Amino acid sequence: MKNRQVARILYEIAELLDLEGVQFKPRAYRRAAQAVESCSTAIEELAAEGRLSELSGVGQAIAKKIEEIVQTGKLAYHEELKEKLPVDLFALTQVDGMGSKTAKLLYEELGVRSLDDLEAVAREGKIRAIKGLGEKTEDKILRGLSEARGVEKRELLGYALPLARDLCDRLMETGLFARLEPAGSLRRGRETIGDLDVLAVSAKPQEGAQAFSSLPGVEEVLAQGPKKSSVRLSGGFQVDLRIVPEESFGAALQYFTGSKSHNIRLRERAVARGYKLNEYGLFDEKNKPLAGESEEGIYVALELAYIPAELREDEGEILAAERGTLPDLLSVQQIRSDLHIHTDWSDGKASLEKMAQAARARGLSAIAITDHFRFSQAIGGLSGDDLRRQIDEIARINAELRELRLLAGVEANIARDGSIDVPNRLLKLLDFVIVAVHSHFRLSREEMTKRLIKAVETEGVHLLAHPTGRKIGERPAYEADWQAVFDHAAKAGTALEINANPIRLDLRAEHVRQAIDAGAKLAIGTDAHAPEHFDFAEFGLLTARRGWAQGKDVLNILSADALLKRLA
């Protein structure tokens, strides 16, 4: 039973209760569903350990229901509710424009129970005949069907961020906008983005909206108004443009950056003070504006320290802001090194010199050259002799360079038993030793935990790269007791990587926070295989920040000299 399946049942209960006109419970079930869905631990594990109510939004009653789902695969309460409306409500409400009310109406009038039923009645033109619905609704449903059938529609941060910047550049060139800023989950640095929210100030909102709808790549205009427009790009990615008054920009940026649960907390806080908070500002009882031009002003007026966007997930940041205990997050200016680089000595695309040039152009003061060792001979892993020659070559280049220092390193393979494939006498010659898992991904939890602990405790090892092995949308993290791995890494002084490749982002934010709490150090590495991959560093930084990382937690803030001293 996967987290998403459990969440699905909880979401459906929320919809069913909504239909019955039940107050407040739907919100409780939705919150619980979100918590289950976004929890990085397997729900069965939490259930087995009796830790379900640790999830915010899950109390006694829902915890019990989740246990029932995990144990029996279903939930009596859910089945009971469904008797009155025996339809696949979750799937039906995935169709754009279809909510639970429409689903109920279509079931009662036409007996629609599934997406297939829905498609059939829409094609036969039966929907437009129902009172309250019409031709446009029918068309919209037909268009929304294929999208709803598609699985996850989220895009990688590494795709969405450049796209957002390009889009804003194009809009700026029209001269119709005074300000443009991406908000939403993109601004919070989430690893995947559902849709893109762009915030704008424009003296000519109508024309601005028109320009937005006419951007190249726009396939369908979903809505177009002076305040809100919505388009779908070819490829299915949805972009929303919100045009707001200048004096409300801060409030709007706050509002549309989210997250939803962070905003709900904030608005509750406003209400508790007799205020009202919306995307136009913070207002008192008499509707007098208290803040709105800047985000900072809103937080200050609510007696909170400013909360950086990456922390706005309702994971304790509001309490920390109230107490003045927010972390001093790692900043881009603090990053001085990239600690995971490949060259054409193994499977990289560029030479040592090319990679060094690219690093220098980005202002880095140190990079670790970490080509694969011989385990990966299929992809050009180095032999012992290769590695010795590369060490000499690096020394030669270092002698010529001034601003940049190359660390001689390697990416060793962790065998099934936790041993590594680089002999000890070679390790001693190196500045920086990375170890990583490249095979045998599916060991038992116990075996994998033992394997990783043995690797991080190996003498001469500095970093465990892409520790959990997950690839977004491709494969989940290995089964392992991460707390134990992080604890042992901390004790052994072996750092844990935040691999910045957008498909990895491994450690992920939740694990970053857990690793820091365990006392482990972190290192951001782009795993660059070509010069342009140095740009991935931004995604690693965002992930570190989402994991509440401060400068002191990461090796990358050290100068080359300080880093070498520390590693030795």
> What are the residues binding DNA (CB under 7 A)?
23-25, 27-29, 31-32, 53, 56-63, 93, 95-103, 128, 131-138, 140, 184, 195, 197, 223-228, 238, 240, 256, 263-264, 267-268, 270-273, 276-280, 319
CB 54 within 8 A of CB 510: no
C-beta of 225 vs 473, nearer to DNA: 225
Nearer to DNA, 241 or 330 (CB): 241
User: In whole angstroms, how close is the CB of 70 to DNA at the nearest point?
Assistant: 15
In the bound state with DNA, the residue whose beta carbon lies nearer, of 27 and 349, is 27
Residue 285 vs 385, nearer CB to DNA: 285
The DSSP line for 8-45 is HHHHHHHHHHHHTT--SHHHHHHHHHHHHHH-SS-HHH
Q: In the complex, what is the shortest distance from the CB of residue 170 to DNA, in angstroms, rounded to a whole number?
A: 21
Distances (CA, A) of 155 to 52, 487, 511: 29, 33, 21
Q: How far is the CB of 324 from DNA (least distance, A)?
A: 14
What's the CA gap between 291 and 385, in Å, rounded? 65
Position of tokens 């190249």?
Answer: 216
CB closer to DNA out of 59 and 235:
59
Contact 352, 397 (CB under 8 A): yes
Q: Residue for token digits 């951007």?
A: 215
Two tokens, residue 369: 């050259």
Q: In this complex, which beta carbon is closest to DNA, that of residue 123 or of residue 136?
A: 136
- Given the complex with DNA, which of 61 and 429 has the nearer CB atom? 61
Residues 6+ apart with CB under 8 A from 352: 343, 345, 369, 390, 393, 394, 397, 406
For residue 501, CA distances in Å to 80, 310, 542 come to 46, 18, 12
Least separation in angstroms between CB 464 and DNA = 34
> Please, what is the minimum distance in Å from the beta carbon of residue 422 to DNA?
48
Cβ–Cβ < 8 Å for 560, 365: yes
Place of tokens 């990053």: 335
For the bound state, the minimum distance from the C-beta of residue 562 to DNA, rounded and expressed in Å, comes to 39
Provide CB contacts within 8 A for 235, sequence distance 6+: none
Between 252 and 455, CB nearer to DNA:
252
Residue 456: Cβ within 10 Å count: 26
Angstrom distance (rounded) from CA 450 to CA 454 = 6
Residue 241 C-beta: closest distance to DNA, Å: 10
User: 319: how many CB neighbours lie within 10 A of its CB?
Assistant: 12
Residue pair 549/522 in contact by the 8 Å Cβ criterion: yes
CA 155, 157, 158, 163 torsion: positive or negative?
A: positive
* Residue placing its CB nearer to DNA in the complex, 58 or 369: 58
What is the DSSP track for 471-497? BTTTBPPPP--HHHHHHHHHHHT-EEE
Cβ 538 to DNA shortest distance, Å: 24
- Residue 278 beta carbon to DNA: minimum distance, rounded to whole angstroms: 4
Q: What DSSP designation does 381 have?
A: P
| Closest listed residue to residue 505, CA positions, set 520, 525, 482 | 525
Distance of alpha carbon 483 from alpha carbon 524, whole angstroms: 20
- Residue 202 or 370: the one with the smaller Cβ distance to DNA is 202
CA–CA separation, 475 and 220 (whole Å): 32
In the complex with DNA, the residue whose CB is nearer, 70 or 495, is: 70
CB proximity list for 249: less than 8 A, separation 6 or greater: 179, 199, 201, 292, 293, 294
Are the C-beta atoms of residues 174 and 204 closer than 8 Å to each other?
no
**Shortest Å, Cβ 125 to DNA:** 12
Half-sphere exposure of 268 (CA within 13 A, CB side): 8
CB of 325 to DNA, least distance (A): 12
Choice between 132 and 324, CB closer to DNA: 132
Least Å from the CB of residue 455 to DNA: 37
Q: How far is the CB of 134 from DNA (least distance, A)?
A: 2
Cα–Cα dist 230/501, whole Å = 30
> Of 48 and 271, which has the nearer Cβ to DNA?
271
